[in-house]
Structure 1
């Protein structure tokens, strides 16, 4: 059961495309998308590097191939505001991403749960582990060829510091997906100024701030040879010579805990390395020119 009286479980139906003919979902995504577009593209100054890499994958990737975008996490508004730049189809219901959202923030009660479900959000319990119940929902999105966004750092960091060590949940989805997803890294800055954690009497401001500089860097797709990595993991960890974490979920090919941990760490480290290079580029490339 979910941590908020079971709302996250009982309202999964609200996230289905056929719920009430899809009208509530369409209305929610169009309304939020319009507001997002205004804040990101009109009320603040936004520069996007390499947007075509994202647009191409969102609009015209091969059928059945899932897309997994990953980014740093600078504020509670990163999603959906990072999709509000000019030219992005943020109000298109079919193209809209699914995203992992913190259960304790976005699913506090039945009303919030309903709205976030309509917005194609999947609740995730921080600290609940990579095999928690709702990770299977995220896996269903990928197995259906959909687009999923995650924040693999696991929490908000508003300081200009190196990318934190990534949680294993994103890597586990890459490994477990029926078809290995296209992984697209994105790094941004500026949303921590639009929605600072402690600026309004020590709290977040009641509305997004304006006249700020936002920078979004879209990377190039990362490819992972999961079958080869899985085989290497088997070879390295053919015996469980490590302290068990008590995992009970084993993939169909029988990877033990040690093999899974090596596999998830290897994939996470590669993504983190790429994201850190992108972050350093943002940090050293100067202020935005408008």
Structure 2
């Protein structure tokens, strides 16, 4: 394969613009949290040590998942509605994610999920735009030109748009992907969590090797931007208490090794039925998508991730949840409050777009700000 097909990184203008965007957003956020809020951070030293170990790209052995930043998944219909927003969020390393309530292209198996899995994995992936078909430029595409983003270095989320494919670059192997497993705003006084979406299980079961996982618990953003706030809604509320607690890095072999082994056996059986006898990372057959064994593996994996976050929640002195709040079935009939998003029990459930159908569970959206 020709060297130019394996670029180390995007172009210098793209890297410079992306670094500026990330730094600007980071400084503004840090300024608000530490200058206009009462912020406490717990367990940060261990997390910073982990990040220090990952500075050398060549020395990385695993990807990293934080569930509470590096690459994030953002709602397509909110973050990528025009060229300005699309460019901003692309430079900010946000991957376009369709929400099933707003798009026929949403769901657990959309192309952005493939990109996230490959970012966490070892090698670069050149065939980034399959599936779906080879992309064509559209109004939803980033307006910031990159000489590498042609053909094999792009991917499409719907067959007509075009986005740079981050997993195609050498320096992005074993990347850091940051997710919100609840996938929506969930604001309730007792600080319980919703059920977690199955997208996190795809990242754990299909990435190669299994990424490091750090659970994080956050309290306070709901007070800064509560969904019941009145005018001016667009202004964050200052002087609120914010607490961020980093859990310990999970022993992924102990936590998920048995599930990954079962997935590997299933994957090998399915691969033997396709031409060439091999499936690329993040590519699934119908059996790997919908077979009962595959579904059961995703359920179990997701529940184990949720338990890891609950452990950090307990460290904050909060009581154990009612087990029912972690089940999808609990939320089948939600949404009868007097205002949009207000529930009968006084909690707030804001849909930046999830649906309950098990075959269309979406990845978390970076526009959501759940409590954990």
Question: Aligned in 2, Cα 1:51/1:261: closer, same or farther, shift over 3 Å?
Answer: same
State the secondary structure of the residue aligned to 1:214: strand
For residues 306 and 14 of structure 2, the distance between their equivalents in structure 1, rounded to whole angstroms, comes to 40
Q: Does 1:135 align with 2:108?
A: no
Alpha-carbon shift at residue 21 of structure 1 (Å): 4.9
State the secondary structure of the residue aligned to 1:68: strand
Question: Aligned in 2, Cα 1:257/1:206: closer, same or farther, shift over 3 Å?
Answer: same
Partner of 1:210: 238
Alpha-carbon shift at residue 162 of structure 1 (Å): 2.0
Aligned 8 A contact 1:68 1:149 in 2: yes
For residues 219 and 188 of structure 1, the distance between their equivalents in structure 2, rounded to whole angstroms, comes to 11
State the secondary structure of the residue aligned to 1:137: helix
Partner of 1:109: 82
Aligned 8 A contact 2:213 2:249 in 1: yes
For residues 220 and 26 of structure 1, the distance between their equivalents in structure 2, rounded to whole angstroms, comes to 28
Aligned 8 A contact 2:108 2:198 in 1: yes
For residues 288 and 78 of structure 2, the distance between their equivalents in structure 1, rounded to whole angstroms, comes to 36
Q: Does 1:250 align with 2:285?
A: yes
Alpha-carbon shift at residue 151 of structure 1 (Å): 0.7
Aligned 8 A contact 1:126 1:154 in 2: no
Question: Aligned in 2, Cα 1:259/1:224: closer, same or farther, shift over 3 Å?
Answer: farther
Partner of 2:139: none
Question: Aligned in 2, Cα 1:44/1:129: closer, same or farther, shift over 3 Å?
Answer: same
For residues 264 and 292 of structure 2, the distance between their equivalents in structure 1, rounded to whole angstroms, comes to 9
Aligned 8 A contact 2:205 2:259 in 1: no
Deviation string, structure 1 residues 72-124 (Cα, Å, up to 9, x no partner): xxxxxxxxxxxxxxxxxxxxxxxx61111122222222211110110011111
Equivalent residue runs for 1:70-81 within 5 Å: 70-71=67-68
Partner of 2:164: none
Match of 2:45 among 36, 39, 52: 52
With 213-222 and 52-61 compared, the bigger mean Cα shift is at 52-61
Partner of 1:267: 301
State the secondary structure of the residue aligned to 1:196: coil
Partner of 2:181: 152
Matched pairs, number:
235
TM (norm. structure 2) is 0.57
**Residue segments in structure 1 that go unaligned for 5+ positions in a row:** 1-15, 72-95, 237-247, 286-290
Based on CA coordinates, which of the two structures has the bigger radius of gyration?
2
For residues 177 and 288 of structure 2, the distance between their equivalents in structure 1, rounded to whole angstroms, comes to 26
Alpha-carbon shift at residue 279 of structure 1 (Å): 2.6
Question: Aligned in 2, Cα 1:233/1:136: closer, same or farther, shift over 3 Å?
Answer: closer
Aligned 8 A contact 1:154 1:167 in 2: yes
Alpha-carbon shift at residue 18 of structure 1 (Å): 2.2
Question: Aligned in 2, Cα 1:120/1:199: closer, same or farther, shift over 3 Å?
Answer: same
Aligned 8 A contact 1:57 1:67 in 2: no
Partner of 1:191: 221
TM (norm. structure 1) is 0.72
Aligned 8 A contact 1:58 1:147 in 2: no
